[in-house]
Amino acid sequence: MKHIPRKRFGQHFLSDHGIIDAIVDAIAPQPGEPMVEIGPGLAALTQPLVERLGRLTVIELDRDLALRLRLHGQLDVIESDVLKVDFAQVAQALGAPKIRVVGNLPYNISTPILFHLLKFVDVIADQHFMLQKEVIDRMVASPSTGDYGRLSVMLQWRYAMENVLFVPPESFDPPPRVDSAIVRMVPRDQPVALAPKLLEELVQVAFSQRRKLLRHTLGRWLEARGFAGEFNVQRRAEEVPVAEYLALAASLQAV
């Protein structure tokens, strides 16, 4: 029976075989590697991946699709909302210190998924995701650009990222109304040791009023915390490099 894409799950299924081959080549799966795919859908990417890997763990929320996937002899199916999955437990179940994570993420909840995975970065070898192109533009953005913001800082703190492939709407059934792309995310070996909630609050305050100088937002926040160090608040949030935000958070944490 043909599966009808469900809007509430943000389902758009890959159907372009040339694009699928290019994605698999970018991921470069090797036999026996512990890999987890988020949102396998109709298995367009799943099948070529499992052919190279031998076995694959998949996370699928849609009950009908999970039922289909269980009929595949080389798949281990986790039927769940990905935001409730403990990836450290998944890695442990696979007997692996680190796992590779891939997927065509539902565009309506892609940012919450990225932040959820940030909690498990220590057990992740790398991540390859299909996302809305404008989200990836924000993820990989450099300072002093319109795309640079909270997402850029939070993710670049823990990952080196690269936009590796453009995916047009006609590659899907049904076609989404946006362009897509593939991002590669490799956890950094020696990230600055920070409490994620502190950095998240700092960055959220900084970018709360992008057009104003930081003295109106972050400056007041720092004053309220009794910050006695040096930080130039005569700039806009987008002008501050990631490294400076990390250094500021580290100095606040040390107090």
Answer yes or no: is 104 a known binding residue: yes
Distances (CA, A) of 109 to 10, 138, 191: 9, 15, 26
What is the C-alpha separation between 210 and 141, in angstroms, rounded?
15
* Token code pair at residue 21: 């081959």
How do 56-60 and 124-132 pair as beta strands?
Answer: unpaired
> What is the Cα–Cα distance from 169 to 171, expressed in whole angstroms?
5
- Asked if residue 14 belongs to a known ligand binding site, the reply is yes
Q: Is 60 annotated as a binding-site member?
A: yes
Are 168 and 179 within 8 A, CB to CB?
yes
Q: Binding site: which residues? A: 12, 14, 39, 60, 81, 104
Q: Binding site for S-adenosyl-L-methionine: which residues? A: 12, 14, 39, 60, 81, 104
